Chain A
């Protein structure tokens, strides 16, 4: 099994990732019928099992199966089902799909779309020693058998806007609803899977229902873009390039599967490291590739790249804080001051007026900080209104799927990627024309029913039941 796994998964130096768990949380459910006496089991040559009763009666036994989607909630699994799931979404798989698509008949061919996360782009740029715009343009050219290459910064606008509004709604109802605050970020699937599995229904009400930028992109590509192209969603194959492996699990969630067309919003996730492998496989160096103009979802070429402020994990805290300060208290926030607490992955931001604390937000990255946060919540001692929770220490720029640079210390590498990432002009989501248009024309306005369907999701607590696999001996 390990051989089929995309070779780029490596252990990093930092030790604070949520480690794979031993327990399979998805017990195998097999219908059992009460038996009268002990039966013998015979194994056939073809590997099937027959139960032979005392009176000689034979009964073929059902094979117990765990479906791939069952393994989603586990951050690591005793069986290798999860690695199969991940290997189903590797760069090898992408190449296969691309090849198959080229060879397919015209009416069966799919439109290939790749959405690149800004963190992956920064990591690639650092590795190939190029500027961000050059990297984006050359990547577009390299993936030329793909029809469109989009920048996920675009969909992130929606995540930020929806998160802002959701926070304000929750704040307004905090008196009646004890679970409204603190609101916890939802963009990190590593955090979501852990929360669903370990803390379940206790923590789920706190998690923002806003979709992550990846999944918003999925909705946009398979929804808006498909319509524009006059195609049904299953005729588009949507690939995303992301900084971590957990995004592969996020893409396979049942909530992001379109039942009507039997297609996923995101068909395949490849990590930054896997893109590098692709380049190496083709013997191509990104700096040798000619730049191509960048695609945008609304058509027309993009002149320049833009980003959002607030760090390499999306900037959720900053945007929500700024918006809330204005909406709730009429305060205009210029720059945000972070106060590091126990460690650099746990920082506080406070809004005060005349000595009174109006809002208290925090960043909590990495497993130990998530632990402490959840324990505080359980004891009713969490002072925060919003926490930007990310599973990876130092955030998404340091995701498990990013490229490890050679010959430099990991701290320096990360700083380089951060510098590149922050070199872009920061845009304000509310001011993005294309975003406004989409809200108005495709989503039917702010806060519409359609916006809720397309841009929000839900979570499911994983119930542990007793089975042979998780009885504690």
Chain B
């Protein structure tokens, strides 16, 4: 197949186009911690696991079972677990059998009451977070031979689009359609005796900064900065201001960078959103608004910066 020359200029080349496995939009991809495997989650209801080969990638497993669109996939830091989530309101945890490269479903978690948008693993523990259209974030952990939902973080007043953990795993940040960011802190239950579930408290709500839905959030494990992707065409970076007294919750300082960021001479935000696989592609130039003939919601998404992540 014709491999297009990358528009991003020298330094990057397109090594592979993996086009035969999915029959609908591929919504998310995730590298395994060892780098040998790539998982792709698709609206066709399947998640494919690709293995790096000499000359490209090959599908080693197709995870089926979700009833409809798979919205997100994430590898656990251990490399042995995979999590997927779907519009069917469930989160599935899969385990890979090393020798056979076979994946088996370890748990089907139906705690959310609506479409689940995003799943992300804790940086070091086998603790999973999910974000949903039901306005909550849920956390899951293993219990005996099954998994259970060990916490429900309520507070957002609309769809939670994404979550990100800080480097310690003691806090996580969620971004929502309600235009706020919420930072949740783990409360260790010292007074409640051992064996009781830690609870999570919302220690900070950032409202008034974003003009529209916040679609993605990333928490830099190096610097602690939090970046957001918003439907108002901007990327924002937040940094924590050292608290004045140990009792007050951390304040966050807001910086608004429409298209530039101190570390890069010029950050090119390239957004191509192909919403249907037979698509009308929405590739915004920085000058014109794209003309997209979808609903207003979709066209806004196509213009927005979506998604965002930090270079490790």
Contact = CB atoms under 8 A, between A and B. Distances in A.
Interface of A: 13-17, 19, 21-23, 198, 342-345, 367-368, 371-372, 375, 393, 472
Contact of A21 (B67, B69, B149): B67
A11 to B, nearest CB: 9
Contacts of A17: 110
A345 B268 CA distance: 52
Given A23-B67, A372-B104, A15 B145 contact: no
Contact of A375 (B65, B95, B108, B145): B65
Identify whether the interface residues of B are mostly helix, strand, loop, or mixed: loop
B146 A19 contact: no
B167 interface: no
Interface string B88-101: 11100001000000
B228 to A, nearest CB: 27
B145 A342 contact: yes
B111 interface: yes
A324 B282 CA distance: 63
Contacts of A13: 148
B110 A371 contact: no
Looking at B104, B148, B149, the one whose CB has the most chain A CB atoms below 10 A away is: B104
Nearest to B115: A22
B104 A22 contact: no
Contact of B68 (A19, A23, A345, A367): A23
Contact of B107 (A21, A368, A375, A472): A368
B298 to A, nearest CB: 10
Contacts of A367: 108
Contact of B149 (A15, A198, A375): A15
A470 B111 CA distance: 24
10 contacts: A15-B111, A21-B67, A21-B88, A342-B95, A343-B146, A368-B106, A371-B65, A375-B105, A472-B68, A472-B69
B219 to A, nearest CB: 28
Nearest to A14: B146
Looking at A13, A15, A393, the one whose CB has the most chain B CB atoms below 10 A away is: A15
Contacts of B90: 19
A15 B108 contact: yes
B197 interface: no
A202 to B, nearest CB: 12
A342 B104 CA distance: 9
B87 A16 contact: no
B106 A15 contact: no
Looking at A21, A23, A367, the one whose CB has the most chain B CB atoms below 10 A away is: A367
B68 A16 contact: no
A15 B110 contact: yes
Given A15-B149, A21-B88, 20 more contacts: A15-B147, A19-B90, A19-B108, A22-B89, A23-B67, A342-B95, A342-B104, A342-B145, A343-B106, A343-B146, A344-B145, A368-B107, A371-B108, A372-B104, A375-B64, A375-B105, A393-B146, A472-B43, A472-B68, A472-B69
A189 to B, nearest CB: 19
Interface string B60-95: 000011011100000000000000000111100001
A371 B105 contact: yes
Given A16-B107, A368-B106, A371-B108, A22 B87 contact: yes
Contacts of B104: 342, 372
A22 B68 contact: yes
Contact of A15 (B43, B69, B95, B148): B148
B109 interface: yes
Nearest to B91: A15
Given A22-B87, A367-B108, A368-B107, A16 B146 contact: yes
A13 to B, nearest CB: 8
Nearest to B87: A22
Contacts of A343: 106, 145-146
Given A22-B87, A342-B145, A344-B145, A372 B105 contact: yes
A431 B108 CA distance: 42
A368 B105 contact: yes
Interface string B21-52: 00010000000000000000001000000000
Contacts of B108: 15-16, 19, 367-368, 371
A13 B148 CA distance: 9
A15 B64 contact: no
Interface string B129-159: 0000000000000000111110000000000
B68 A15 contact: no
B147 to A, nearest CB: 8
Nearest to A411: B144
A329 to B, nearest CB: 30
Contacts of A345: 145
B88 A22 contact: yes
Contacts of A393: 146
Contacts of B88: 19, 21-22
Nearest to B97: A342
A112 B88 CA distance: 42
B65 A19 contact: no
A15 B105 contact: no
Looking at B64, B87, B105, B148, the one whose CB has the most chain A CB atoms below 10 A away is: B105
A372 B105 CA distance: 6
Contact of A19 (B89, B95, B105, B106): B89
A472 B24 CA distance: 10
B295 to A, nearest CB: 10
A193 to B, nearest CB: 14
Given A372-B104, A375-B64, A15 B87 contact: no
Contacts of A368: 105-108
B67 A22 contact: yes
A343 B95 CA distance: 13
Nearest to B149: A15
B145 to A, nearest CB: 4
Nearest to B43: A472
A258 B67 CA distance: 34
A198 B109 CA distance: 19
A374 to B, nearest CB: 9
Contacts of B148: 13, 15
Contacts of B69: 472
A24 to B, nearest CB: 12
A13 B110 CA distance: 11
A461 B110 CA distance: 25
Contacts of A198: 67
Nearest 7 interchain pairs by C-beta: A343-B145, A19-B110, A368-B105, A371-B105, A371-B65, A372-B104, A368-B108
A15 B67 contact: no
A14 B111 CA distance: 10
B65 A342 contact: no
Interface in B185-210: none
Contacts of B106: 342-343, 368
B135 to A, nearest CB: 18
A19 B67 CA distance: 11
Nearest to B95: A342
